[in-house]
């Protein structure tokens, strides 16, 4: 049963992001690992070629969207005779739950690996409501 749940989760995340693009470039869906700690959910995405200036993360209506722009490498005083490595942009979206504290989300990128930490929100505490007479 646990294996079925993991497989279902993998299948759900494989879909592509449907948005209008202004750049006529290939768009890759970055491979991503998601793990949960006691205090947070951590998302680790493999995005070779991106740095902190070329990554954009937005959160709108419970959808966390990651976009990375990679500029093709240019060679000074050389022309490309043959290449196999194809560069492109990255885009992926995740639906997050209300259990995430949106104000405390943090992200960092190092050597093409993006790490997004989604802290868990404090549980809502029961509140005693006083009753007034009259």
CATH number of 66's domain = 2.60.40.790
Structural domains in the chain (count): 1
Name the pLDDT band for 30 (thresholds 50, 70, 90): very high
For residue 132, being part of any structural domain is answered with no
Q: CA dist 114 to 20, 22, 33, 47, 96, Å? A: 23, 23, 11, 7, 17
- Tens of pLDDT along 59-117? 999 999 999 998 877 778 888 788 777 778 999 999 998 889 999 999 999 999 999 99
For residue 33, being part of any structural domain is answered with yes
User: Is 92 in contact with 32 (CB distance < 8 Å)?
Assistant: yes
pTM as predicted = 0.71
Is the model more confident about 121 or about 79? Answer: 121
For residue 128, being part of any structural domain is answered with no
Q: For residue 52, how far is the Cα from the chain centroid?
A: 14
For residue 90, being part of any structural domain is answered with yes
Asked if the model's pLDDT at residue 1 lies above 90, the reply is no
Asked if the model's pLDDT at residue 10 lies above 50, the reply is no
Average pLDDT for the chain: 82
For residue 34, being part of any structural domain is answered with yes
Domain range for residue 63? 2-17+25-72+83-119
């Amino acid at each position: 049963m646990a294996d079925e749940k993991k497989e279902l989760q993998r299948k759900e995340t494989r879909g592509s992001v449907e948005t209008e693009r202004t750049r006529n470039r290939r768009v890759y869906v970055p491979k991503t690992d998601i793990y949960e700690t006691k205090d947070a959910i951590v998302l680790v995405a493999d995005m070779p070629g991106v740095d902190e200036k070329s990554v954009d993360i937005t959160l709108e209506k419970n959808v966390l969207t990651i976009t990375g722009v990679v500029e093709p490498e240019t060679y000074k005083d050389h022309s490309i005779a043959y290449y196999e490595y194809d560069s492109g942009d990255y885009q992926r979206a995740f639906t997050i739950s209300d259990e995430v504290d949106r104000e405390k989300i943090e992200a960092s990128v190092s050597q093409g690996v993006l790490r997004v930490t989604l802290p868990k929100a404090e549980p809502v505490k029961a509140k005693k409501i006083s009753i007034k007479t009259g």
